[in-house]
Amino acid sequence: DGGITQSPKYLFRKEGQNVTLSCEQNLNHDAMYWYRQDPGQGLRLIYYSQIVNDFQKGDIAEGYSVSREKKESFPLTVTSAQKNPTAFYLCASTHTGGQPQHFGDGTRLSIL
Amino acid sequence: QKEVEQDPGPLSVPEGAIVSLNCTYSNSAFQYFMWYRQYSRKGPELLMYTYSSGNKEDGRFTAQVDKSSKYISLFIRDSQPSDSATYLCAMSASGATNKLIFGTGTLLAVQP
């Protein structure tokens, strides 16, 4: 069954700690995206990647890092430089060229 | 001013009612328009995808795009309690990067 898998569903971060959120897709999509969702603010783009070994900053990239070593995988690291990391993080993917994005079920990150 | 404006609700309707959800936008370059449904603690699920102006119907759902007014709508006929969710509009200007701009979402409650 094709889809986007995000793990873990819940994650807790201690002060000064980096944490990595996993996103895997088996849809053979070229492009992958990371969004942050906060109450009342909609989804905001953190990073996106249209091809392996290449990625671009979105609107709120500060304090985050990504890698795209495989087509299927686009992990997001929330670094200690991100001072307000508590949010719902969503990963999406799509074929390039005007196709709509499809989303995983998210990871909720909280501060300990 | 936000690029995409969406009334956050909450909107409460009785079962069987026709629901109208709306978004306005300011960027005339937007060409691709989407509606997503998001249940609590889940990722957004694509409901409707429209290119340029016009109407699109899928079962109980109808999406309308009026580019001249910069206004999009989602109509839900014969609403069901299972339609209770947050509805997000999203749009993009170009198919190349698929960068989506989201509304903040409207919370809908359908009362049995």
- CB-CB under 8 Å, A101 with B32: no
Q: Which residues of A46-77 are buried (b: 16+ CB within 10 A; e: fewer)?
A: bbbbbeeeebeebeebeebbbebeeebebbbe
- Cβ pairs bridging A and B (under 8 Å): 61
| DSSP label of A92 | E
Determine what percent of chain B is predicted with pLDDT higher than 70. 97
State the smallest CA–CA distance between residue B62 and chain A in angstroms.
Answer: 17
pLDDT in tens, A28-54: 999 999 999 998 788 999 999 999 999
Determine what percent of chain A is predicted with pLDDT higher than 70. 97
- Dist. CA A63–CA A86, nearest whole Å: 13
Q: Which residues of chain A carry a pLDDT beneath 70?
A: 1, 97-98
pLDDT in tens, B78-107: 999 999 999 999 999 876 667 899 999 999
List of E strands, B15-84: 19-25, 32-38, 45-51, 54-58, 61-66, 71-76
3-state secondary structure of B96: coil
- CB-CB under 8 Å, B51 with A100: no
pLDDT in tens, chain B (112 residues): 789 999 888 999 999 999 999 999 999 999 999 999 999 999 999 999 998 888 999 999 999 999 999 999 999 999 999 999 999 999 998 766 678 999 999 999 999 9
